[in-house]
Amino acid sequence: MSDLRVELAGISLRNPFLLASGIWGESGASLAGAWGHGAGGVITKSIGSAPRPGYPNPTVESYERWGFLNAMGLPNPGIDEYPQEITLAQAAGATVIGSIFAHDAAEFAELAVKMAATGVVGLELNLSCPHAEGLGSEVGGDPESVEAITRAVVRAVRLPVIAKITPNSKDPAGLAEAAERGGAAAISAINTLRALAINVPLRRPTLSHGLGGLSGAAIKPVGLACVWQIYERVDIPLIGVGGIMNAEDALEYVMAGASAVEVGTAVAFDGIKVFGRLVKDLTDRLDELGLTSLVDAVGVAHSA
């Protein structure tokens, strides 16, 4: 049977399917649930320095099977209240990566120290939420800022630092290079695409915030292109994100250059049991293709 284990920048994963940040990851029980259903690791909801209520409803619009538009507004209890949730997930045996967001390098570094103290195995920097004022892609959209934030966090903690890059940029691979210069151990690509829906009878945007982020099957080709280009320009490992609904989607990302993948919208549509199906289907598919180990498939499409 083929081997799905992944060593990613010093983090050991039992399989490549990580629970993406922001989906299902708010509580320790939900993180533990994803782990219990077979996720290779779980990434927390993005946590900030202080509690944030998020935007008022409506915050989500679903497009059948092809996508999901959301603008939650980074709701979270703040770093001082969140460690207990991580402890619960760790008690269930989960490999937990902590996602953090902040306004600038100094705040990122301070938050990183607090998140590291929870015993997470790595940090993912949210440099890519597409619609939060002064946060996410507003601080992650330019290479100097990405480099400075990454460097500040890398200096502050002794954990692998993963920079989550925005596709809402003319050169996402340039942002990944900046993170690598700053000392990132890995890159996640991509986060959601900036997007909008209009409620015609109400003559206003569907979501309370107006702009949101599009995820799901619709964005898979965009994510693949970003991973493809980033793989050609950096030497650190990549985590593919965006529209991974089944094992074949994951293999596309791996062959484009990803060592692991994050699954978000598929969990929102199909529930947490999706991890068990993904693991089984990927194992079967690798067997069919005559691949004994997933690692052997990373980036192979580049040499074709």
Closer residue to ligand DHB (CB): 255 or 266: 266
The catalytic residue positions are 129
Phi, psi angles (nearest 5°) of residue 187: -125, 135
Tokens linked to 33: 């649930």
Among 15, 30, 44, 126, binds ligand DHB (CB under 6 A): 126
Distance CA 112, CA 106 (A): 10
Phi, psi angles (nearest 5°) of residue 193: -90, 135
Q: Give the residue at shortest CB distance from ligand DHB.
A: 129
* Total residues interacting with ligand DHB, rule: CB under 6 A: 14
Tell me if 19 sits within 8 A of 241, measured CB to CB. Answer: no
Strands, E, within 111-169: which ranges?
122-126, 161-164
Tokens linked to 106: 């100094």
Distance CA 160, CA 93 (A): 20
Q: Is 268 left (phi over 0), alpha (psi -120 to 50) or beta?
A: alpha
Q: Closest approach of Cβ 191 to ligand DHB, in Å?
A: 4
Closer residue to ligand DHB (CB): 122 or 130: 130
Q: Closest approach of Cβ 75 to ligand DHB, in Å?
A: 6
Q: Is 129 in the site for ligand DHB (CB under 6 A)?
A: yes
Stretch that binds ligand DHB, among 81-89, 116-124, 125-133, 237-245 (CB under 6 A): 125-133
Tell the burial category of 187 from Cβ atoms under 10 Å away from its Cβ (0-12, 13-18, 19+).
Answer: buried
Closer residue to ligand DHB (CB): 192 or 259: 192
| SS3 label, residue 73 | coil
Stretch that binds ligand DHB, among 24-32, 105-113, 128-136, 232-240 (CB under 6 A): 128-136
User: What angle is formed at CA 150 by the lines to CA 146 and CA 152, rounded to 5 degrees?
Assistant: 120
Q: Closest approach of Cβ 232 to ligand DHB, in Å?
A: 25
Among 30, 145, 191, 259, binds ligand DHB (CB under 6 A): 191
Among 38, 122, 136, 242, binds ligand DHB (CB under 6 A): 136
Q: Among residue numbers 71 through 90, which ones bind ligand DHB (CB under 6 A)?
A: 71-74
Q: Closest approach of Cβ 248 to ligand DHB, in Å?
A: 24
Q: Closest approach of Cβ 71 to ligand DHB, in Å?
A: 5
Distance CA 174, CA 142 (A): 9
Give me the residues that bind ligand DHB (CB under 6 A), please.
Answer: 22, 70-74, 126, 128-130, 136, 191-192, 213
